[in-house]
Amino acid sequence: MSILKKHYGYTQDGNEVYIFTLTNFNGITAEIINYGGIVTSLKVPDNKGNFDDIVLGYDSLDKYMDDTVYFGAIIGRYANRIENACFELNGKKYELAKNDGRNHLHGGIIGFNKVVWNAEIIKENNNECLQLIYNSKDGEEGYPGNLHVKVTYTLTNDNELKIDYFAVSDKDTIVNLTNHSYFNLSGHSSGDILNHKVMINANKFTEANEEAIPTGEIIDVKDTPMDFTKLTSIKDEIDSDYEQIRFAKGYDHNWVLNVSGNSPEKAAEVFDDKSGRFMEVYTTKPGIQFYTGNFLDNALVGKGNVIYGKRAGLCLETQYFPNSINYKNFPSPILRAGQEYKHTTIYKFSNR
């Protein structure tokens, strides 16, 4: 695997941003910028050998700086939502930004998706990898502790985009990192993803209220539109009258994965009949957020002046459960001072 580094642009405060092109032996390429750690392009072949870019995004840094839908970005310190934008840790209450109604979303006003990361090309197991480093200061966006974060992108010759997350803090804090890429296996400019088929390796999901905040209840997927235990077409139930679907205007929920967390295990699959592209998702995290781009609208102009309409892409965000700091029955996102946070997610591509 090789990595090419090029100038991409400058932020408003004069920081230079670079774009890194990762290429594997099979010709697959991933383009990543060190602003937000954003995956701007991912080109993989269909079953006839034709390459297409399968992630939604923009053509310029300015567009990414103005972005409000988190295309391709690293999300932190805390992915997803925290109810009432506050949490209690060690008897102290921490107030966060209310950037999603009364709630906190994806790390706040200036989350990890809106900062310039230090970038370095490193070698691991004879592979060139892109390592991004960010030091989040104590009190940034309301979170405690100086948090040292490393995110490493590797594109393997097995057609895997591997993302390794690492963090350590000098104070007890909470951490929940993920990637927010929107996938369309027919190609980013091909329309909606309703004909994609999805499998999620989960028998349960976390029930959510009208604000997409978990209620604390964990519900069995059986006999509900949330059952993706086998490959199921997204269009089958996405417009059903099931309360959870109505609340979210589609799918925007956390599934409780059937994984141990000890090593990357199968979390999900996506198959596109049209192109034959097949994507597998592996993770060490206990949950995955499946989002069907319900709030994308026709005002969103993406790469090549493509209009991204409703459901133009889908997200599979590996994570701790939303609002997990506020529920004792959810896996804990607390990172104790000096402990190491480690998390791996793999997106693997093939054809059928």
Residue 247, CA distances (Å) to 205, 243, 292 in order: 15, 6, 13
Are 269 and 331 a contacting pair, CB within 8 Å? no
Phi and psi dihedrals of 203, rounded to 5? -95, -10
Listed residue (311, 128, 129) closest to 235, CA to CA: 311
Tell me if 227 is assigned to a ligand binding site. Answer: no
Tell me if 320 is assigned to a ligand binding site. Answer: no
Tell me if 7 is assigned to a ligand binding site. Answer: no
The CB density around residue 43, as the number of other CB atoms within 10 Å, is: 17
How many angstroms separate the CA atoms of 120 and 9, rounded?
17
Cβ-based burial of 36 (10 A; exposed 0-12, middle 13-18, buried ≥19): buried
Tell me if 135 is assigned to a ligand binding site. Answer: no
Whether the upstream peptide bond of residue 336 has omega within 30° of 0, thus cis, is: no
Torsion angle of C-alpha atoms 74, 77, 79, 85, degrees rounded to 10: -140
Residue 61 parent element (H or E)? helix 61-66
| Catalytic residue list | 180, 317
Tell me if 180 is assigned to a ligand binding site. Answer: yes
Phi and psi dihedrals of 168, rounded to 5? -145, 145
Binding positions for beta-D-galactose:
80-81, 180-182, 252
